[in-house]
Amino acid sequence: MAYYWRSAMIALAGSHRARSWALGSTLSSRLARRYVAGPDAAAAGTRTETLLKDDGIRASLCFLGAGGAVADRPRAHVEAAIAMARELAQRGLDIHISMDPSWAGHDVDPIAGLGHLRRVAQAIATLSGGRPGTHLLMLGMEEADRTDAILDLHRVLAAEGLPVGVTLQAYRRRSEADLRRLIEAAAKVRLVRGAYPAGADIAFTTQAEIQANWRRLIDQIFSSTARDSGFRPIIATHDHAIQDHALARALANGWARGEYEIEMLFGIRDGLAGERARAGACMRLYVPFGEDWWSYTWRRIGDNPRNAWILLRSLVMGGR
């Protein structure tokens, strides 16, 4: 069931006709406000500053696109990421940028994509200039046939000493082995559930199996060996029970605050994020910005049907 729901929402996310209707409609600004910080780097910088000042929550910024010709999109994504990095530097905030490698054209032309992502990582390194904080280019994980290419890309950039991390998916059967190698390499890894439809040959498909694998991977992540290697994990989920498990394992194995983070998507369970931050957890929100919110929003609804209700409520009742 989850497989078909997610596939349908991803198809809608990719529909050009529905997208151009919606981006031109009056609903657009209200829908976009729910999950998106604003149209540009300045608006996203202001939102990031407010989150830190009011709630003690840090952010990872992600550019959604601004439409335009397909051939120009990789360049537009890279320029927007670098503009965002400058904005964050000027405000003295963490320069933490999230990007899916295909947005930089890595799926079509791996060499050019590597060059684009290297530019973003170099800009982060230069603009952060040794300032305290977590300054990072976090690579998203995409469909199953892209996993090896994205892990290779991460290995190349990390070997160049650039500030880069990579995402692993808790629903993939291979993640335990990938995680072992990344712990040995003292990498920075964001663990998410996995958003793309995938069959039982490569992924755990029932909620019970996925939850069990989340817990196995979290136990592996918060081992004392991982802590001593300098490995830096980010547990990215809206599932409070999985968050509780991670926080308990970290505490039991002597991980200090600041050596790991819990991350959530802006607009999904902000109340929970605030509660966790007030209780002393290091929280980060993944904060999208840009005008092209259509595909991102349908992916969130594909993640969990509850998110459709969150959106509907904000449309009917107003507010963010």
Helix (H) or strand (E) holding 232: strand 232-236
> Given candidates 269, 288, 301, 311, which one binds ligand FDA under the rule CB under 6 A?
269
Residue 223 and residue 246 in contact, taking contact as beta carbons nearer than 8 Å: no
Between 193 and 227, CB nearer to ligand FDA: 193
Concatenating the DSSP letter of every residue in 88-149 gives HHHTT---EEEE-GGGGTTTT-HHHHHHHHHHHHHHHHHHHTT-SS--EEEEP--SGGGHHH
CA separation, residue 313 to residues 32, 191, 240, 299, 306 (Å)? 13, 29, 22, 18, 11
Least distance CB 62 / ligand FDA (angstroms): 9
Give min distance, CB of 20 to ligand FDA, in A. 25
**In terms of CB distance, is 20 or 239 closer to ligand FDA?**
239
Could you say which residues in the range 105-144 bind ligand FDA, by CB under 6 A? Answer: 140-141
**Residues 2-31 contacting ligand FDA, CB under 6 A:** none
* Single residue of 94, 178, 263, 292 touching ligand FDA by CB under 6 A: 263
Q: Does 233 bind ligand FDA (CB under 6 A)?
A: no
Burial of 149 (0-12, 13-18, 19+ CB in 10 A): middle
Counting residues that bind ligand FDA (by CB under 6 A) gives 23
Asked whether position 238 contacts ligand FDA by CB under 6 A, the answer is: yes
The stretch near ligand FDA (CB under 6 A) out of 9-17, 78-86, 235-243, 252-260 is 235-243
Please tell me the number of Cα atoms within 13 Å of 212 on its side-chain side: 8
Q: Which is nearer to ligand FDA, 36 or 236 (CB)?
A: 236
CB of 285 to ligand FDA, least distance (A): 8
Span near ligand FDA by CB under 6 A; candidates 11-19, 64-72, 175-183, 259-267: 259-267
Q: Using CA atoms in the order 43, 49, 51, 56, what is the torsion angle rounded to 10 degrees? A: 170
Is 292 a binding residue for ligand FDA by CB under 6 A? The answer is: no
Tokens describing residue 63: 């550019």
String of contacts with ligand FDA for each residue 293-312, x by CB under 6 A: ----------xx-xx-----
Among residues 27, 16, 64, the alpha carbon closest in space to that of 43 is found at: 64
CB nearer ligand FDA, residue 195 or residue 224: 195
What is the pattern of x (binds ligand FDA, CB under 6 A) and - over residues 191-220?
A: -xxxxx------------------------
Q: How far is the CB of 241 from ligand FDA (least distance, A)?
A: 7
Cα dist from 258 to 33, 220, 255, 287, whole Å: 30, 18, 9, 20
Supply the minimum distance, in Å, between the C-beta of residue 135 and ligand FDA.
Answer: 17
Alpha helices in 142-229 (DSSP H): 147-159, 175-184, 207-221, 224-229
Q: Which residues bind ligand FDA (CB under 6 A)?
A: 140-141, 167, 169, 192-196, 236-239, 263-265, 268-269, 286, 303-304, 306-307
